[in-house]
Structures are given as structure tokens and as C-alpha cells.
Amino acid sequence: MQDNENNKCIKNLIDLFGVKQIIKMFDLMPDILFWIKDVNGGIVYGNKFFLEHIGVQNLNKAIGCTDFDFSPYHIAKQFTVDDQKVLKGESVHNRLELNITPSGETGWFTTSKCPLFDDENRTIGSYGISRHLEKTSLALAGMDALKVPVEYIRTHYMDEIPLAELAEVSCLSISALERRFKKHLDKTPKQFINEIRLENARRLLVETNLPIATIANDVGFSDPSYFSKQFNQLFGQRPSMSRCAHADSYTHDTSRYEFQDD
């Protein structure tokens, strides 16, 4: 009953003339995925590019579905973990994360999410935007200068990457490199490197049985304890918990209805 009331509140909010006009503006931004979800993670609204991204032709085919209907389990799982934090009042700002592109390839996205409140300040859902890093790189003026360092980091994240080295391959000074990252990605080069390493570690925790210390080393962390601390800080759980949560929830049936979500 409460869920129905929440969904009704969201629909009423969207149907407001002014709000509807603002939301439709997201259809004019080809590098932006925009969505609204209810408290159960069900899709309530998605802009044109979000619908294209998940592979449906119209909104009606997406309403009520969740991330598990459109994404690999380990990726959908992390989305729902983030959503639960957001519903408790936290916000996600420019989180770097892996996602699947419409072509089926893995790509890097920057994502922000916030809780959605009704007029009595009760949480009724969440909303967010996500940008495909490569499309964003092509769309933003001045972003060309980041293509080289971003690709270099993607290729060499497992190695030590001094800022001087990254600046040199980018033909930029260290200060100019830091300004570009802050302007276009809202993070420092070191933060970007760290998040690339941690996202790859999360993938290895799910896709392999490698010891956690080995994974830490393979993605560029020489100190397993520091790796665990950084992983917990970014994802809200320690590497061992992340692996166990996935193992406990996973079944051989790929249908989302066969998963026992936390």
C-alpha cells in the first residue's frame, strides 16, 4: 500500500506541467542518461537516451523493471547497493563506475544520484544522471586534452603512475592536468586513478576466485590493508563482504526473480 502511494506521488510530481518540461530537456542531451526510480528500484521514468541504453523502445516497456532486467548481475547489484544508500539520505556525486553500453561492451560512466522527496520531506524514490565517459569526452569542449591521460590510466592503472609521468604523456604541466580533471570530471587525477583501480578490483572479486591480496596487487595496491580501506570508502563494504554478498545472492539462473537480493 505504501509503495503504491509513493509511486502515485512520483507520478503526480512528474505530471506537474513545469516539472514535465524540465524533465523533457534531458531528451536534448545525447550524452546524458536520466532516470527516476521508486523505493524498490523500479523504473518510473527514463529519458530517451536512458531507454536506448537499456534497449527498450518506449517508456512503458521499462516502467516497473529494475537494473537486474537490463544489466549483468554484478553491475546491477552495485547499482542497487548505491540506490539503498541514496534512499537513506546519502547522495552519490560523479561516481566512476562500469556499465554496459548498448553495443554490449563495458564502458566507464560518471554517475550522480540523489533521493527524491515528497512535499512532506518523505523519501519516495531516487533520481540520477549518468554520462558515458567517452561520449562526454567527445562532447565537451576542451576535453580532447584528457583523452590521452584517461586512456593511459586505463591501460596502466595496475602500475605506479606518477603525476609527472601522466602530465608528460599528456603534454601538459601537472597543474594544467589537475585543472582539466577537476573541470571536466570533478576529481583529481589521483582520485580518477584510484577509482579505476577499485572498479577493476570489484570486477575481479566477482569474476575470479583470486585471493583478495592478489587482486589488490594486480590493480595497483601494494598494501592490502590500504586497498581494503579505500574499497570500503568508495563502495561502502569491504572486499571480502562484497565477494560474499555476491556469492550468497548468485544462482545459476540468470532471471532476476531467481536472485535473493539483500
Please report the domains of the chain, with CATH numbers, ordered by start residue. Answer: 2-136 (3.30.450.20), 140-248 (1.10.10.60)
Q: What is the pLDDT of residue 15?
A: 58
The residues that bridge with 127 in the sheet, in sequence order, are 36, 114
Side chain identity at residue 85, one-letter code: K
- Indicate the pLDDT class of residue 103, thresholds 50, 70 and 90: low
Least confident of 46-50, 61-65, 193-197, 233-237: 233-237
- Indicate the pLDDT class of residue 257, thresholds 50, 70 and 90: very low
Question: What is the DSSP-derived secondary structure letter of residue 172?
Answer: S
Span 4-31, pLDDT tens digits: 665 566 566 555 545 667 777 788 877 7
Q: How buried is 164 (Cβ within 10 angstroms: 0-12 exposed, 13-18 middle, 19+ buried)?
A: exposed
Query: What gap in Å lies between CA 30 and CA 28, rounded to an integer?
Result: 6
Query: What gap in Å lies between CA 74 and CA 256, rounded to an integer?
Result: 12
Query: What gap in Å lies between CA 115 and CA 89, rounded to an integer?
Result: 6
Cβ atoms within 10 Å of 77's Cβ, excluding its own: 23
Q: What percentage of the chain has pLDDT greater than the value 70? A: 78
Q: What is the pLDDT of residue 134?
A: 66
Strands 106-117 and 123-132: antiparallel
123 three-state secondary structure:
strand
Span 149-166, pLDDT tens digits: 988 998 999 999 999 999
Q: What percentage of the chain has pLDDT greater than the value 90? A: 37
Question: What is the DSSP-derived secondary structure letter of residue 67?
Answer: G
Helical segments of the chain, H only: 2-15, 17-24, 48-54, 73-87, 133-139, 144-156, 163-169, 174-185, 189-207, 212-218, 224-235, 239-249
Asked if residue 58 lies in contact with residue 76, where contact means CB atoms within 8 angstroms, the answer is no
Question: What is the pLDDT averaged over residues 79-104?
Answer: 79
Query: What gap in Å lies between CA 113 and CA 14, rounded to an integer?
Result: 17
Q: What is the pLDDT of residue 248?
A: 57
Q: At which residue does the C-alpha cell 602530465 appear?
A: 167
- CA distances for 13 relative to 36, 42, 113, 201, angstroms: 11, 16, 18, 39
Question: What is the pLDDT averaged over residues 236-259?
Answer: 61
Radius of gyration of the chain measured on its C-alpha atoms: 19
Q: What is the pLDDT of residue 133?
A: 72
Q: At which residue does the C-alpha cell 591480496 appear?
A: 213
Q: What is the pLDDT of residue 201?
A: 93
Model confidence pTM above 0.85: no
